[in-house]
């Protein structure tokens, strides 16, 4: 009789565990307690530790002084990672955002994020090939937004992932010359890049608590990062304009941009904080 009770107790315990797991999976969807909250991402653009101010000049380690007139980029495919390694992937169709210093579009608002404690974030720089190949109609709203913000060429040539423009001077040219660096994919190379960043403190997502994750994006690393890109070496034959929109230097720039972002701090609270 004792043996039967023992088996029954084990059976009930095992059944209880199965029910508990299945209930959690069904109701919580990765959430701490079945609830959801919002997350705000704020992008603070800088140049090698200084605030980026359009129209101001900055000298890099290449000995070139850049006056930046435009700094826009696309972030996409956002994934939030909890302390235990669990990942929440933001719905792909809604996970494309334009950051523009020109229009001061610097904030990304994420909704219906499972409540929990998050320690890492992943996102793409630009638009991935999978999304692009879905066609223009599938992404018409974002395409139109990108178009009005100088972030596309034509549909056949696709999106500009980063649009970095201005003028520069150097020991070789005392008079300012124009430069344009447009990172994007082309028929030769896929220049979409994915970055993973640790959060310096936990982002607590709760129904009534919205974390603000504050990023710093360093425009300086585009030409003056791991790979050094001399703008004067990229002048056109007329010697009036340095334009990098493809080729080996753009691949080097795409590598540089892997280090363009860092998380400065996380503010946990009920509202927007920069």
- Cα distance between residue 210 and residue 88, in whole Å: 16
For 199, the 3-state DSSP assignment is strand
228-238: string of b/e by CB count within 10 Å (b at 16+)?
ebbbbebbeee
Q: Do 48 and 164 belong to one domain?
A: yes
Is 194 a member of any domain? yes
Q: What is the pLDDT of residues 90-118, one digit of tens each?
A: 999 999 999 999 999 999 999 999 999 99
Is 274 a member of any domain? no
Q: Do 23 and 96 belong to one domain?
A: no
Query: For the purposes of burial, counting CB atoms within 10 Å of the CB of 224, is it exposed (0-12), middle (13-18) or buried (19 or more)?
Result: buried
Q: H or E stretch including 68?
A: strand 65-82
Q: Do 18 and 115 belong to one domain?
A: no
pTM for the predicted model, two decimal places:
0.87
- Domain enclosing residue 197, as ranges: 31-269
Q: What mean pLDDT do residues 40-65 have?
A: 97
User: Cβ neighbours of residue 120 under 8 Å, at least 6 residues apart?
Assistant: 80, 81, 196, 197, 198, 199
Residue 145 has pLDDT above 60, yes or no: yes
For 234, the 3-state DSSP assignment is helix
Q: Do 203 and 240 belong to one domain?
A: yes
Q: What is the pLDDT of residues 163-202, one digit of tens each?
A: 999 999 999 999 999 999 999 998 889 999 999 999 999 9
What pairing do the DSSP bridges indicate for beta strands 241-244 and 173-183?
parallel
Contact yes or no for 91/113 (Cβ under 8 A): no
Q: Do 265 and 255 belong to one domain?
A: yes
């Amino acid at each position: 009789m004792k043996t039967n009770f023992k088996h029954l107790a084990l059976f009930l315990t095992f059944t209880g565990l199965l029910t508990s797991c299945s209930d959690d999976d069904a109701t919580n969807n990765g959430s701490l307690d079945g609830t959801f909250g919002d997350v705000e991402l704020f992008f603070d653009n800088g140049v090698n530790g200084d605030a980026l101010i359009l129209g101001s000049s900055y000298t890099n380690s290449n000995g070139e002084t850049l006056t930046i007139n435009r700094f826009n980029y696309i972030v996409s495919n956002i994934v939030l990672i909890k302390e235990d390694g669990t990942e929440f992937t933001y719905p792909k169709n809604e996970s494309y955002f334009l950051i523009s210093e020109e229009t001061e579009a610097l904030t990304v608002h994420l909704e219906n994020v499972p409540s929990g404690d998050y320690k890492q974030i992943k996102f793409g720089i630009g638009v991935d090939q999978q999304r692009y190949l879905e066609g223009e109609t599938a992404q018409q709203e974002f395409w139109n937004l990108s178009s009005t913000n100088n972030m596309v060429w034509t549909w056949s040539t696709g999106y500009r992932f980063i649009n970095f423009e201005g003028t520069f001077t150097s020991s070789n040219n005392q008079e300012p010359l124009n430069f344009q660096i447009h990172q994007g994919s082309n028929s030769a190379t896929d220049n979409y890049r994915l970055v993973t960043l640790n959060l310096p403190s936990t982002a607590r997502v709760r129904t009534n608590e919205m974390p603000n994750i504050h990023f710093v994006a360093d425009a300086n690393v585009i030409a003056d990062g791991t790979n050094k890109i001399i703008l004067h070496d990229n002048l056109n034959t007329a010697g009036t304009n340095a334009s990098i929109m493809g080729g080996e230097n753009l691949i080097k720039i795409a590598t540089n941009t892997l280090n363009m972002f860092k998380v400065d701090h996380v503010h946990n609270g009920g509202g927007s904080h920069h």
